[in-house]
């Protein structure tokens, strides 16, 4: 709980941690794994008596583009963005970064590799719902409360009900 992402990743890649709770970005982060390292994924286990849909997936977009209404060279900016988001460029991006993109058919098996391709064309395509990452869907003040409360739940210093109350209060007061 107190480790940085880099420290936890090193333990995982060196075989000192059996698994990590992570996202598809772990595929790219595992590119420097030692020879023979095998990476796979599985859905988070269901909770007995839980009411959720096991096929639901948390998903989100890490970056987006925008063009100012006041841009002098708006047509050139649009041309550049059309190029950057073309299927060909996005397929190369998938190949280099081993991450999914929102451009249809850009996450090919050849570019993505077997793990990412299975996730994008199996898990995601079969999802009942694609839900936003909690931290990107909240106002910044609530996001901070979410992180600190979740860390407390994980280390046992905050009861889950208290964490939920803290987050609910933060969401009510945040804009």
The model's pLDDT over 44-75, given as tens digits with 9 standing for 90+, comes to 788 888 888 888 888 777 678 899 999 999 99
Report the C-alpha gap between 83 and 113 in whole angstroms. Answer: 24
Given a contact cutoff of 8 angstroms between Cβ atoms, the answer to whether 139 and 175 are in contact is yes
Which residues lie closer than 8 Å to 19 by C-beta, 6 or more apart?
12
| Burial call 9-19: b when 16+ CB within 10 Å, e when fewer | beebbeeeeee
- pTM beyond 0.85, yes or no: no
175 has pLDDT over 70? no
């Amino acid at each position: 709980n107190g480790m940085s992402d880099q420290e936890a990743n090193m333990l995982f890649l060196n075989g000192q941690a059996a698994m990590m709770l992570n996202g598809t970005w772990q595929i790219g982060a595992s590119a420097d794994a030692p020879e023979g390292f095998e990476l796979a994924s599985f859905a988070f286990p269901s909770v007995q008596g839980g009411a959720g849909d096991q096929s639901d997936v948390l998903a989100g977009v890490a970056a987006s583009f925008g063009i100012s209404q006041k841009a002098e060279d708006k047509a050139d900016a649009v041309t550049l963005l059309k190029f950057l988001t073309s299927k060909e460029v996005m397929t190369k991006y998938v190949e280099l970064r081993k991450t999914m993109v929102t451009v249809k058919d850009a996450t090919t098996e050849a570019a993505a590799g077997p793990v990412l391709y299975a996730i994008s064309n199996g898990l995601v395509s079969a999802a009942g719902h694609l839900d936003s990452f909690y931290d990107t869907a909240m106002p910044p003040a609530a996001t901070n409360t979410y992180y600190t409360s979740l860390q407390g739940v994980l280390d046992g210093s905050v009861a889950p009900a208290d964490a939920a109350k803290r987050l609910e209060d933060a969401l009510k007061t945040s804009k």
